[in-house]
Amino acid sequence: MKKQLSEPVIIHIKKSDAINSVYDWLGSFIFAAVVVVVALTFFIRIVDIDGKSMLPTLVDKEKVVITNYISSPENGDIVIISHGVKYKDPLVKRVIATGGQKLNIDFKNDKVSVDGKVLNEPYIQGKTIQEDGKIPSVIPKGKVFVMGDNREESSDSRGTRIGLIDEKDIIGHVRCVVFPFNKIRFVK
């Protein structure tokens, strides 16, 4: 006599709404975490301000959000510059002139001119003093001339320690201050 096989038993397990919600929430959290990691790695960074060279615009110990540069820097941009041969830490400075622009600094009358136009610089603190560097009358292509807003206490393109900056050494554009929380603001 041949043994007859029984029909397979199919069990239907219905996930509860609570379990579905947990899976949905967990999936959303993982997706959001991946987006944040990718954004922080490739598009934005948080950087600490160290020093007084950008007073009054940026204050020592503030944390700023920077975006990576996709295009060339423009006059007035506040940028983070990677460390180089003559300085060990990243720098934060304001772009004054870019490659091909004519630059003139009248130290006696405290005036900075780019392409023959005197800059309106309501953000600066102190007098624009001369340092030990030679300031070219025309900025070479691929370079930028930068200065700190606190002109009396800033080492910048006016001196030989920093000098002109290669555009490729600019790692980001400062967008806003995010810490301390009572000082959150966009930066211009």
Nearest-angstrom CA–CA distance, 53 and 45: 21
Nearest-angstrom CA–CA distance, 84 and 67: 20
Give me 79's structure tokens: 């940028």
Catalytic pick among 21, 53, 127, 143 = 53
Is 53 considered catalytic here?
A: yes
96-130 as b/e, with b when 16 or more CB fall inside 10 Å?
A: bbbbeeebebeeeeeebebeeeeeebebbbeebee
How far are the Cα atoms of 7, 82, 109, 114, 182 from residue 170, in angstroms, in the given order?
71, 6, 30, 20, 29
Catalytic pick among 2, 14, 71, 93 = 93
Is 113 considered catalytic here?
A: no
Catalytic positions, written as ranges: 53, 93
